[in-house]
Structure formats: structure tokens, C-alpha cells
Chain A
Amino acid sequence: MAEPMQDGAAAAGRLQTRFPDAVVAAGSFRNQHWVELRAERLLEVCAWLRDDPENDYVMLLDVTAAHWPDSAQPMEVIYHLYSLSRNDRLRLKLRAGDRGPVPSLTSLWESAEWNEREAYDMFGIVFEGHPDLRRILMPDDYTDFPLRKELPLYTG
């Protein structure tokens, strides 16, 4: 069997060298590397990750979130990037307040438009600069954000 792929290892290293003050934390699990960024630096770092030929992350595969209600920054937004030329994935994360705000990536990748809408719909996170931030799966008159942890799970 071939050596397991070290996803995002090289790019995470370059990112930490290039933007040391934008990185909050970094790590890996099961050979998948991630970098946590300061929200205000997200756009700048992502533009570099997309356009720099050494990184070349042409695809934003997914935008999603996780809710950590006991944390001071309860919203974690998670991005999965993919580079076609290098066959490499990178996970970016950032922490934000209860409703964000978080900069929108719609100016860099159009896939952010629907995925950020879903993260807003499910968690209530506001993506600043999104051209059309409204619900996508839930009805327009729905008032809750279903994937937040305070919404109870069915336990029957």
C-alpha cells in the first residue's frame, strides 16, 4: 500500500510562514491537516490559497459549521478546500460569536453562495458581504436555527 496522503500538510506549513499573525491554531488528525484562522484575515488568506500557484485551491468543496454553546466563541465555521492540480485538501476553521459575523467567501468561490446560505439557515451565522443571505432549506417564515445545540433532539 502507498503511503497515506498527508492532506494539507505542505499548504498549512506555507500558510503559517506567510501569515503567522493570521493563524490561531493548527493541527492534524488521521493525516488531515487543518488551520484555524482569525476571521478578519479569512478573505486575504483564502485569496492567496486560491491564486498562488503553489497552493492552487481552485475548489471550495464545502462550507459548514459546528455549534459549541459553552465556548466564548460558540460558532465554528469550517471550510474544505481542494486543489485539483496538487490533489490536496485543506481544512480551514474559524471561531465567531453567536451570530457571526464572518466574512463571506462568495467573492472568491461561487459555491460559497449556497453553502453559506445553508450555514446561515441552520446556525444563524451571518456572512458579511453575501449578496443574497436568506434561508435555503427551511421555510422563509421559520424562526429557529435547527442545528444549534439548544434546539432539542428527539429522544423518543
Chain B
Amino acid sequence: MRHSIERSAEHPDVITLNMGPSHPATHGVLRLVVQLDGEQVLRTVPHLGYLHRGMEKIAENRTYTQFIPYTDRQDYLAPLASNVGFALAVEDLLGIRVPPRAEVIRVLCCELARIGAHLLWLGTHALDLGAATVFFHTFRDREWHYDLVEELTGTRLTTSYTRVGGLAQDASGDWLKHLRKFVDEFPRRVDQYESLLTGNAIWKKRTQDVGVLSATHALAHGVTGPVLRASGVEYDVRKARPYSGYENYQFDIPTGSAGDCYDRYLVRIEEMRQSARIMDQALRNVPDGPWHVDDPKIFLPPKKRVLTSMEELIHQFMLVTEGFECPSGEVYSSTEAPKGELGYYIVSTGGRSPYRLRVRSPSFNNLSVLPRICEGGLIADVVANIGSLDPVMGEVDR
């Protein structure tokens, strides 16, 4: 194996340390084999696949609608964002666009998901580095976020909230009011988290100049999302290639310059504020009107009509048992998920299932820089580096 370093005159005290796959600081089932000389890391070799469920294979035998619950289980910290990404890809393949109300609700979902994902990252990342207090603050607010997710979708984790052509159900006026309270309060909470960490001498010591990733290396590794932006590259799919009406919102893309763990921390902190800012604008302008496309061949008819009209009953029966037809062709469609560019590449030969579905997961590419940023550092910093890359193994292994 390439990753083994033998004891030699140069490295007389090499030891090999196994970390994971079940380890509190690897954020899921990541396994690392670390070669150490004293406290210094010589090499880190990640071993993946402990959460591989063969989603891309499964997709070939499912209708497009049946695959939506699998997207919940990719980035399971932000299922709403993956739901939206997948629905958009299939809509690109079909050549349809959802009505404005559905787009605004989807934007609210994506940003709420980003806040939820970043709160988990912040709490666990700080906990890994010994700052336990932060965890309690972020998990208190994450609970609030989950209450909102539950109120909207009926479930906290496995939301399956989008449908191709729209949403599973409309958002209620009450929900929008409850979300408004959250959006108004949340930026103050971010200030609270920051007061615990940003100027904290120990936090800075543990994260500044640790895990430095240059822009050149980040790009070569296909790194996207906050990790790429912390290295100074201003690439955000929401700005570069707006979808769901993101071009209508004012927001900034925070970037770093050092590309270290501290910059990745600052970028995500600011992203949470920007998410609240986008939601604030979206909530001021939630249009009335339809929340799904008006096409009985793609979208389920209202239940009331199914029970009273033969035609709608047939449409419902066909959509549920067989699914809808897609044209033959191939599309790559991507969204800015909390971890970075989440792309779906669909190869269709017509029919009701994809011939091939590829999930380009941001965490997979982001995690590939881990050996590079750990090399030459200290063993204690491996934990800081993993946390700052914020990989979610459900998405890495698929």
C-alpha cells in the first residue's frame, strides 16, 4: 500500500494511528490512518465508504419522484437543500420552471437548511476543540430551526419536501409568521456565538494558520462552497448561476484570504447572517398563486378532485404507479448546498427512471484536500481540519 511509511533512518519513530470510522471527532463514519512522527503528521490516508448505500444504482430502478427520499439521506444535515437540488435537475431535464411562489418557498428552504447545517458544524467543531459552551447555544437554536422544518414538512430530518414541478404541500401563513420571528431574531444569536469565539485567544490559537489551503490547490481539488471561499475564491452557484430566483436577492459572498481553519470559520459565520438576510427579503415578497406547475402528467392533482373526477383519478394512479415520462437527453444541474456545489447529472434515455444518475457531492471533493492540509501539522490539528472542512459522510459515500 502506498500509504505506509516504513521506519527508516529519516523516520525512526514512525507510528501508525487509526482514527475512526467510529470516532466522535470524525463527524460520522470517516476513517483515517495517520502516520505520525511524535506529534507531527507525516501522512493521512482517508478510507471512505462506510456509509455507501449505492444510491446512484438505486436511482436507476426508481421513478424520479421515488428518488426524492434518497436525497434526504445525502446531506442529512440539510435535506431541504438536496431536495431542491434534485427537483431542479429533473425540471431542467423536462424543461420546466416552477411558479414564483414555489421558487420563493424553495429559497426559504435552502437558506433555512444552510443555517441548520452551519449550526451543527459550529457546535461540533467548537466542541471538538474544547469549547463546549458554543455547542449548547447552537443546538438550542438548531432545535428552533427543526421546529420550523417540522411545521413545514411534517418531519424533522427526512423532509422529502420538494416534488418535481413544485412542493409536497404549500407553506401556511402561520409558518411564514413563525419563520419571520426566527429570521428577525437569528442575527443576534450569531453575534452571541461570535462573542464566544471570534476574539477568543485559545480559539484563534487552535485555528489560525492551521490547515492552510491555497486557492490554487482548492481549485485543482474541485473544492467548492465555504471551504473554497475561505481560500479567497469568490465562487457561489447562487451568484454565478442563479436558480430559483436568487438573482432577485441582495446578499454578499463572504470570502477569506488565509485559507486556514479560522477563515473557514469566519466565512460560515457570515454566511449564516447572509442567509437570514436572503430569507428576510424573501419573506417580504412571498407571492400568492400556484405552488406547483399545472401539468397533470407531471404533478399530482389535488386530492379533492381525485375523489370526485375520473380523469384526475387516472392521472393520480398513473403518476403514483408509473411516474412521469422524461425526454431523452442529459443535463448537469447544480445548486449551492451548505457544503458547496451539489450537482446532479442525469442521463435519460426517455422513460420514467434515469438511465444513469450521478451525484456530484461537494463533501467528497472537499474531503479530498484533507491529506494535504494535515501533512506536516500536529495530530491535534487533524481534528480541527476535519471540522473546518465540514464533510458529511452521507453525501461523501452516497
Contacts and interface: CB of A to CB of B under 8 A. Distances in A.
Contact of B331 (A30, A147, A153): A30
B2 interface: yes
B340 to A, nearest CB: 10
B265 interface: no
A61 B222 contact: yes
Interface in B221-276: 221-222, 233, 235, 240-241, 247
B365 A89 contact: no
A87 to B, nearest CB: 5
A62 B360 contact: yes
A87 B241 contact: yes
A114 B364 contact: yes
A146 B54 contact: yes
B49 A30 contact: no
Contact of A61 (B95, B329, B360): B360
B332 A80 contact: yes
Nearest to B47: A136
Interface string B130-164: 00000000000000000000000000000000000
B332 A32 contact: yes
Contacts of A136: 48-49
A51 interface: no
Given A66-B356, A114-B365, A132 B2 contact: yes
Interface stretch (A12-20, A36-44, A94-102, A105-113): A105-113
Nearest to B372: A110
A53 interface: no
Chain A interface size, as a band, is: 35 or more
Given A80-B343, A136-B48, A59 B219 contact: yes
Contact of A138 (B49, B247, B341, B355): B49
B74 to A, nearest CB: 14
Contact of A60 (B54, B58, B222, B343): B222
B397 interface: yes
Which of A87, A114, A138, A146: most chain B Cβ within 10 A? Answer: A114
A122 B357 CA distance: 13
Interface in B349-387: 355-356, 358, 360, 364-365, 368
B368 A30 contact: no
A137 B217 contact: no
A155 interface: yes
A114 B221 CA distance: 9
A137 B345 contact: no
Contacts of B312: none
Interface in A18-72: 29-30, 32, 34, 58-62, 64, 66-67
A66 B222 contact: no
B347 interface: yes
A95 to B, nearest CB: 14
B347 A66 contact: yes
Contact of B61 (A29, A80, A155): A155
A137 B52 contact: yes
A75 to B, nearest CB: 12
Contact of A87 (B48, B58, B240, B330): B240
A146 B57 contact: yes
Interface string A103-133: 0000001110111001000100000000110
B170 interface: no
A78 B365 contact: no
A87 B240 CA distance: 7
Interface in B185-244: 217, 219-222, 233, 235, 240-241
B368 A62 contact: no
A136 B329 CA distance: 29
Contacts of B345: 62, 64, 78, 80
B201 to A, nearest CB: 35
B57 A80 contact: no
A114 B368 contact: yes
A84 interface: yes
A19 to B, nearest CB: 22
A10 interface: no
A67 B358 CA distance: 12
A58 B92 contact: no
Interface of B: 2, 48-49, 52, 54, 56-58, 60-61, 92-93, 95, 217, 219-222, 233, 235, 240-241, 247, 329-332, 341, 343, 345, 347, 355-356, 358, 360, 364-365, 368, 397-398
Given A66-B355, A78-B345, A113-B368, 9 more contacts: A32-B331, A34-B330, A58-B220, A62-B332, A84-B219, A89-B332, A114-B368, A153-B60, A153-B61
Q: 10 tightest A-B contacts by CB?
A: A111-B222, A137-B49, A153-B61, A29-B329, A66-B356, A62-B360, A137-B52, A110-B220, A64-B358, A114-B368
20 contacts: A2-B247, A5-B241, A30-B329, A34-B330, A59-B220, A59-B222, A60-B222, A64-B358, A66-B347, A66-B355, A84-B219, A84-B233, A87-B240, A110-B220, A115-B222, A131-B2, A137-B398, A146-B54, A153-B60, A155-B61
